Amino acid sequence: MYCFLRFSILLVGLIVSAGSYAVNAAQPLTTADDLGPKVEQPIEFPHDRHAGDAAKGGMQINCMYCHTYARRSIVAGIPPLQKCIGCHQNIESVRETPRIKKLFEYWEAKKAVPWKKVHDLPDFVRFNHERHIQRFVFAQNKPVQEACGYCHGDVKTMTVARRQKPLSMGWCVSCHQKDHPVDATSTKTTHGPNDCWQCHK
Amino acid sequence: MGKDIREDIAWAQINKDVLKSLESPRRMYWVILFIAIAMIGVAVGCEIYQYTTGMGVANKNNSHVWSLYIATFIFWIGMSHSGTLLSAILHLMHADWRKPIYRFAEAMTTFSLMTAGLFVLVHLGRLWMVYYVMPYPNERWVWPNFQSPLVWDMFAIATYLSSSVLFLYVGMIPDLAICRDNIHAGWRKKLYTVMSLGWEGTDRQWRNFRITYLTIACFLIPLAVSVHSIVASDFAMSNMPGWHVTSFPPYFVAGALYSGCAAIITLFIILRYVFKFEEYMTLPIMKKLVRLTFAIAMVWTYLNLIEFASVWYGHDQTAKDQLIFKATGPYAPYFWAMIFFGSILPLMLAFKRFQTHLPILFVVSILLNVGMWLERWMIISPSFAHGHYPWTWDHDQWPSLVQWGIVFGSFGWFTLLFMVFCKVFPSVSMYEVKEMVYHRSLALKHKPAVKGDY
Amino acid sequence: MSITNLLENWSDFRQQHPSDDRPHREYKWAMSIDLDSCTGCNACSVACYAENNLPVVGKEKFAHGHSHHWIRIERYWDNDGREFADQGAQFLPMLCQHCESAPCETVCPVGATNHTADGLNSQVYNRCVGSRYCNANCPYKARYFNWYDYPTTDNVWPEPMNQQLNPDVTVRGKGVMEKCTFCVQRLTVAKSNARSAGRGVLDGEVQTACQQVCPTGAISFGNLVDPLAKVGKQWMTQQVELNKDKQAKDVKDVEEKAAKLRGYRILEELRTYPSVMYLEQLRESAI
Amino acid sequence: MIENSFNRRGFLKVLGWGGATVALSGCGNTSVEDGREFVTSYVQTADYIIPSIGTYFNSTCAQCDAGCGIMGRVREGRVLKLEGNPKSSINNGKMCGLGQAGVQAHYNPDRIREPLLRNGDKGEAIPWGKALELINEKIGGVKAENIAFLTGGVSGHVKALLKNYLDALGSGHHYVYEAVAPSIMRAANRKTYGVEMPRLRLDKAKVVVSFGADFLGAWISPVHFSQQYARFRKADNGERGVLVQVESKMTLTGANADRWLAIRPGTEGILALGLINALAAAGLSVPGDVAAVVREYTTDRVSKDTGVSAEHIGRLAALLKERSPSLVIAGSAAEGYAHGSQNATAIALLNQVLGNVGKTVEAPSSIPFPQMAPSTGNRFALQSLNDNMAQDKVKVLFSYGVNPVFTAPASMKLKENLKKVPFKVVFAHYMDETALEADLVLPLNSALEDWATVMPEYVAEGAQLNIQQPLMEKLYPGTLGMGDILLALLKQRRPDEYKGYEDFYSYLRSAMVSNKGALGGSTTDDDTFWDATLSHGVVKLVSTPVNMSGNVSAKGLVVPGPFAEDSAYPFHLIPAVSASLRDGRNANEPWLQESPDPLTTIVWDSWVEMHPKTAAKLGIVEGDIVEVASRSGAIKAQVYVFTGIHPDVISVPLGYGHEAMGRYAKGVGVNAFKILDPVFDKETGELAMHETRVKVSKAGRRVVIVKDEGPAGGNQMGRKIAVRVSSNKVNLSEEV
């Protein structure tokens, strides 16, 4: 009899404690790195060469030099071919490398490069680059690479970009729930919007 | 008037009679089983069609979003209640006449819950997303909406189903041991051995068993009441005219007990006939059962009238319009059929002559359940057809064959489960019948025999 | 997935009853529809099809009540047994009323429909499991269910008609509920632009598709919190208050004054607190 | 706005459309799927091109002839939605449902994609060069007077080119045909005011009496009139305008009237004269000759003839006298009779007596470029072409922008006569009924991918030239614009004159730029002018109001009495012009088929409107299939019973009943054009559309009507849903 009661009390206790742990312990999702698949691009674009640290042979070009729409559109955008050519027609040193040759082939055919999407959100999700860049880069004065890196990872060390973060809903929410200072100097904080329609369309 | 259980029946005879029902089935069994499977096949076919094409094939529409699935869902949930009534409530009330019949009633509870659960799935537009309803830690970081009666439903049904299964199983353990001891080979032996959990009938085991059984019984009673109250709040919590009624929970519970009792009568007669359980499922028991059914039918009728009356005396013109629509609109034949089957027909049960007349009872009990099914449908469809907003009224949206097919198949599913149960597990509780016989014989010793009925 | 998140589900997202201690701070989108200007021409409805990727279901499905018109024009007659409808018809554009205390929100088992901070009644298609409880509980029946999988249905968006689909709005697959969103895709853009400019959305800066197309300008839409917004002024002059279920017009003892008011909300007595105010249709008494 | 042509074309290229990926995979449990879709990327861009942000380009709506300015939202090279162009004075940024569906005309899956040459019963795809050469060859073989060009209303540079082409051929046979145009009104106006289209100022009127003019639905320029109507209803001084609609079948405008008067068909003129008489009796000064004519139209007699109660005639006269200015409009319903012109004159007389001419009936503006002025069509043109074809006078026929095989009454035997024409060229978007009869079908660009200019017939103020410009690149390489085709044909005839123009765009640009002085661009350089023109979408023309006489003579005005009963064909058939389908040219746009008819809420089918009294008399209930038979033919359709129609009248909507055209139009409903009787207006020779007498008999079957309205019909069942109050209960001036 008492054995039975003891057993059931134990069981209930176990379930309760496991449940409460589970409820509170889902946090690791927030920091988990979740490497996406390797994406074959028409041209193997070396992000490390363009944006990487000078010490490692990079040119430290600002992300938004090429992904110029990020600050004013919901998408960051791929630069028009014109922009690649604008620099590369003056860079003789790499003019004959296979990748650049391919680039000029596209240019001469007046054909846009068919870049593949690396960070592809589901179609029912509306992610606004502009708001994030405005908030972190312009209001909080965070370095561009850091701000972009919140979601895109350490792109400056990659050649072809590859997804590093899970980009799952919980992952988004984890950041939206954090308190972020409203600008670089203020101690006032707010957190990201919580409305469903902020991100779901 | 038939005989009640003989007090002098040998315990071995009980074992023998009951275990006989587990013997290899006759041909008719297989035929019926096949028919049941064919019915399930129809339902599965319909569901596959609906799943791949979309809910539209069920022929509901934007103003009439629920229909037979929800009606039948409530019907099956309701059916499950009397098992609990018989086994748990009457157990606590020491009504010993329940003992020969509670086992199959309890099985019926479990199986009708299993059937009802399927309707929740069938009803969903995106069945493949059903796990969104469950609260579990997930990568989306969202919870279900705990305000929604549907979430309560999910909890209530899951809890009730698991408790019912547990109750059924626990109550069966001593009998399983008997089965184990009387069968000598094959898969049955293995099954009973595992399931009887090493039952040997020691005092300690009996003591633990009694307490466990009692505990679950106590736990189950509020659960049973709450389950149908929660199902009722699916409706009562909404603002649909005709649903937004406080008396819905008791009304639903009464309806549930009513249809369950009627179903027990039906199954009682079938089992008594098929397994030749005349010795155990006796006519005096039937008589009690019928009287109980009659009482519940009257309670239900009363609550039904209260519902009508409160609409009638209320100020809600919309609800009044809807009631008139039910009684006079295109649903009127079904509405009056429900009144007839649910409230008029049971008056027959008040007559002694019919209380033990099995063929009549068989037909009547089935008709009572038809009435109860109609009642659920009359709650759903006419309300949608004639709601708050006249522009979207919709008086001729009849369920498509897909809906009927799935409803039809659900009876096959229930039959299949029940038939398999009857052949695998003892459908009469042997140890409790022995108890009953024992107690009665003790009582007899102290009392002179009285002439007449028990 | 924390307890705080759970609790927030119960506070921020849930508007049980609108109350004064929790007012909308920045935006409260609302509408007013002047039934005296509405001519029933259906332009709003077609514009909604264009903006929101509504499927054309065809005759057979329409016959079964499977149509999708997030804004539908209802046409009522007021004959009272006269031989002719000699005072014309009463047209009423019915759309999701974005109730402040929305009956649909509380009943959705998965919380796919919620209240946003801007006072919109949101519907998250991807969260929807299709229980249709929301529509069962919607007194206006302004919600539309995807009874079929329209993207893959013949002749709904045959190539190249699918190129017309608005990329800002999800194309809904089978089994999800949908409804008027007050063109949230436009609101989001307007809010974002305004925020980048360091201000709030100005009145008239954002229009819903139905409002933009309406030839008689019967629909006004805007931010009720903004004192300059036309819609707010309209609500004010009509003495219709968001948080009340009985308006000045309904109160008998101010009848003298109330006679001049023609703003009302539909089925207000159900205490849904709709965000759409209608202005009564007028008919000349001299003829 | 657009720096160079490369940019423009580059922008309008379809981008980011990697198959069906953009929005179609909506609701799955889609997780992140990297590396499947393509990113939108350009070779070159302009500053204003930002991915995922729509850019608006102004153009002109081609869904009907009103010529509203539109603004197309273009994103990633696809035009997604049309809005009204706020700069156009016609629609001021507003639109109608028909216009909204313009994108569906553009993206329509049933568009013809390449030139087709008849080969037996089939069309055989041929290249454009061959097609144009074939035309040249066929034209060379016939005399100039045997060449006929049948078009709908045309204007702008396409019209100029067309005229030049006809001149080059030496043939003047240009038939301008519009199936449902207000051509009797134009003629009547010419007679009474000296202009075809005086400007109607609803917004200035305090009372509008409309004799069957559906100006909110399908009459002339509905979006424009709707805006005026809104101002008329809500005048700045708070005085709400009163609309009285007199007609036998309720139109959308009638449904919005303060008083809808069901009048016996054809007696509109009598009522107008009766009103003048009543006004004179009430003390309004009426010229002597007019008074003499109207004297016999006593209220009692008028009431008896028209079926409008004396009480209403009296109240209407009182209202007209009391509230001035008013506006009386004669619409197609009043004019669709053999005495339609007389009706129109009588109504114009009422306007004049009320002193509205010059106040609410204003003079239109002159058009500085007459060669581009709209050539308006009528049914008489088709009649004469038909006669010529019947007499084998037509050897080569070009058809553009019309579908006469669909819209001609069966009694004309047009289809048979067409067969007598040896070579028929049809410029078409769809394989419609006329294109099926053609020997050569030339596919046109949609209005959203074509260059053109449009000069609308009815403009609120002044005159304007609308620009129609491509909003995206052509969907199919095999289609051409009408301007391009005409230019190519002209190059065959007058190579020297036109060889400088590479395509119609360059022709248009140089024609516009060379006239920039008259187009308001005299101070700017060519490129700036051109860019500004394209970005505005409309060009205001320098123009002055023309002289408008307003002196209707009552002399010789005879309005015949009401129709005699016809026991064999007891009912009048009113073919209703629906706001969305019009003459049927838009029937293949599914949004229009699915948007319910405002009054009946019926979708995807034709119907026969009938008064409950009539229905009761015939033993008909809603949904009965009836046969509507005239002397010229019969159709079968479902009955819809409602009180917005005179008991002597039944009405069937036009535009349904296509036998070809496309998947959404074909087989939907019945074609009411077919059974119209050949009765003509005595003065203009126009087909009298409302003269057809019919009989109705049950065809046996009954269907459930597919409509939006539920079983409660238009009844609110005591709920407070759509509320109506008397206008004296509110004060509009206090409202916002």
The CATH homologous superfamily to which domain B11-439 belongs is: Formate dehydrogenase/DMSO reductase domain (1.20.1630.10)
SS3 D326: strand
The more confidently predicted of residues B7 and C240 is C240
Q: Do D717 and B396 touch (CB under 8 A)?
A: no
> Closest approach of chain D CAs to the CA of A69, in angstroms?
7
* Same domain as D309, residue D189: yes
> CA C67 to CA D604: how far, in whole Å?
12
The stretch A173-187 carries a mean pLDDT of 84
* Same domain as D135, residue D70: no
pLDDT band at D13 (very low <50, low <70, confident <90, very high): low
Give the nearest chain A residue to D46 (CA atoms): A80
SS3 D124: strand
Residue-level pLDDT at C258:
61
What percent of chain A has pLDDT above 70? Answer: 90
Q: Do A130 and C122 touch (CB under 8 A)?
A: no
SS3 labels along D420-474: CCCEEEEEECECCHHHHHCCEEEEECCHHHCCEEECCCCCCCCEEEEEECCCCCC
> Closest approach of chain D CAs to the CA of B312, in angstroms?
17
> Closest approach of chain A CAs to the CA of D391, in angstroms?
57
A197 interfaces chain C, CB cutoff of 8 Å: yes
Of C118, C124, C195, the CB nearest to A200: C124
Q: Do D715 and B317 touch (CB under 8 A)?
A: no
Set of chain A residues whose Cβ sits within 8 Å of the Cβ of C6: 23
Determine the structural domain holding residue D69 and report its residue range.
Answer: 1-107+449-472+522-540
Of B65, B145, B154, the CB nearest to C111: B145
Give the nearest chain A residue to D49 (CA atoms): A69
| pLDDT tens profile C176-216 | 999 999 999 999 999 999 988 889 999 989 999 999 999 99
> Closest approach of chain D CAs to the CA of B385, in angstroms?
10
Cα dihedral D332, D336, D339, D342 in deg (nearest 10): 10
Q: Do D714 and C215 touch (CB under 8 A)?
A: no
Among left, alpha and beta (phi > 0; psi -120 to 50; other), residue D538 is beta
Of C64, C137, C141, the CB nearest to B56: C64
> Closest approach of chain B CAs to the CA of C208, in angstroms?
24
Of D23, D36, D50, the CB nearest to A72: D50
Set of chain B residues whose Cβ sits within 8 Å of the Cβ of C14: 147
> Closest approach of chain B CAs to the CA of D307, in angstroms?
33
The stretch C238-266 carries a mean pLDDT of 79
* Same domain as D612, residue D650: yes
> CA B417 to CA B33: how far, in whole Å?
10
> CA B272 to CA B289: how far, in whole Å?
14
Q: Is residue A149 part of a domain?
A: yes
C41: pLDDT strictly greater than 50: yes
Instruction: Kindly list the domain boundaries of chain C, sorted by start residue.
Output: 3-279
* Same domain as D641, residue D599: yes
Residue-level pLDDT at B427:
85
Of C110, C136, C175, the CB nearest to B145: C110
What is the DSSP-derived secondary structure letter of residue C117?
A: T
> CA C98 to CA C274: how far, in whole Å?
6
In sequence order, what are the beta bridge partners of D652? D575
D7: pLDDT strictly greater than 50: no
* CATH code at position D358: 3.40.228.10
D15: pLDDT strictly greater than 50: no
Give the nearest chain B residue to D717 (CA atoms): B390
Q: Do A170 and B208 touch (CB under 8 A)?
A: no
* Same domain as D326, residue D189: yes
Q: Do B126 and C130 touch (CB under 8 A)?
A: yes
Set of chain D residues whose Cβ sits within 8 Å of the Cβ of B318: 719
**Beta strands C143-145; C177-179: pairing state:** antiparallel
Determine the structural domain holding residue A185 and report its residue range.
Answer: 31-78+115-199
Of A130, A194, A196, the CB nearest to C124: A196
Of B321, B388, B395, the CB nearest to D711: B395
Of C3, C8, C117, the CB nearest to A24: C3
| pLDDT tens profile A91-122 | 888 888 889 999 999 988 888 888 888 888 88
> Closest approach of chain C CAs to the CA of B401, in angstroms?
14
| pLDDT tens profile C113-167 | 888 888 889 999 989 999 999 999 999 999 999 999 998 888 999 988 988 999 8
Residue-level pLDDT at D285:
87
- ipTM field: 0.90
Q: B110 to each of B132, B228, B253, how far by Cα in Å?
A: 25, 15, 17
Of C75, C86, C173, the CB nearest to D259: C86
Give the nearest chain C residue to D736 (CA atoms): C234
Instruction: Give me the CATH topology for the region C3-279.
Output: Alpha-Beta Plaits (3.30.70)
Of D27, D39, D45, the CB nearest to A115: D39
Angle at D43 (CA atoms; ends D40, D48), nearest 5 degrees: 70
> Closest approach of chain D CAs to the CA of A70, in angstroms?
10
Give the nearest chain A residue to B135 (CA atoms): A23
Q: Do D23 and A123 touch (CB under 8 A)?
A: yes
H-helix or E-strand containing D262?
strand D259-262
Residues 51-110 of chain B with CB under 8 A from chain D are: 63
Q: Do D731 and C260 touch (CB under 8 A)?
A: yes
Q: Do D255 and C89 touch (CB under 8 A)?
A: yes
* Same domain as D317, residue D304: yes
Contacts of D617 (CB under 8 A, 6+ apart): none
| pLDDT tens profile D198-219 | 899 999 999 999 999 999 999 9
Q: Do C168 and A201 touch (CB under 8 A)?
A: yes
SS3 B323: helix
Set of chain D residues whose Cβ sits within 8 Å of the Cβ of B128: 29
**Do the Cβ atoms of B393 and D712 come closer than 8 Å?**
yes
| pLDDT tens profile A33-90 | 567 788 888 999 999 889 888 888 888 899 999 998 898 888 888 888 888 888 898 8
pLDDT band at C6 (very low <50, low <70, confident <90, very high): low
Give the nearest chain B residue to A5 (CA atoms): B212
Q: Do D711 and B129 touch (CB under 8 A)?
A: no
Residue-level pLDDT at A27:
45
Residues 192-221 of chain B with CB under 8 A from chain A are: 207-208, 211-212
> CA A163 to CA D376: how far, in whole Å?
62
D371: pLDDT strictly greater than 60: yes
Set of chain D residues whose Cβ sits within 8 Å of the Cβ of A106: 43
pLDDT band at A3 (very low <50, low <70, confident <90, very high): low
Residue-level pLDDT at B440:
79
Q: Is D530 exposed, middle or buried (0-12, 13-18, 19+ CB in 10 A)?
A: buried
The count of structural domains within chain D is 4
Q: Do B390 and D704 touch (CB under 8 A)?
A: no
Set of chain D residues whose Cβ sits within 8 Å of the Cβ of B317: 718
- Mean pLDDT of successive 10-residue stretches along chain B, which has 454 residues: 69 81 84 94 94 91 90 91 79 80 88 92 91 85 86 90 90 89 83 88 90 88 88 90 87 90 90 84 86 91 89 85 91 93 90 86 92 92 91 87 93 92 87 82 65 46
Q: Do C106 and B147 touch (CB under 8 A)?
A: yes
pLDDT band at C12 (very low <50, low <70, confident <90, very high): low
Set of chain A residues whose Cβ sits within 8 Å of the Cβ of B207: 1
Residue-level pLDDT at C22:
67
Instruction: Kindly list the domain boundaries of chain B, sorted by start residue.
Output: 11-439
> CA A22 to CA B143: how far, in whole Å?
13
Give the nearest chain B residue to D27 (CA atoms): B126
Mutation target for C interface from D226, D471, D613, D664: give the one with most C CBs within 10 A.
D226
The count of structural domains within chain A is 1
Of A1, A3, A170, the CB nearest to B139: A170
**Beta strands C90-94; C113-115: pairing state:** unpaired
Among left, alpha and beta (phi > 0; psi -120 to 50; other), residue D337 is beta
Residue-level pLDDT at B2:
57
The stretch A166-188 carries a mean pLDDT of 85
Mutation target for A interface from B136, B141, B213, B216: give the one with most A CBs within 10 A.
B141
Set of chain C residues whose Cβ sits within 8 Å of the Cβ of D223: 215
Q: Which of D296, D328, D362 is the last residue of a domain?
A: D362
Q: Do C114 and A195 touch (CB under 8 A)?
A: yes
Q: Do B125 and C176 touch (CB under 8 A)?
A: yes
pTM of the model: 0.91
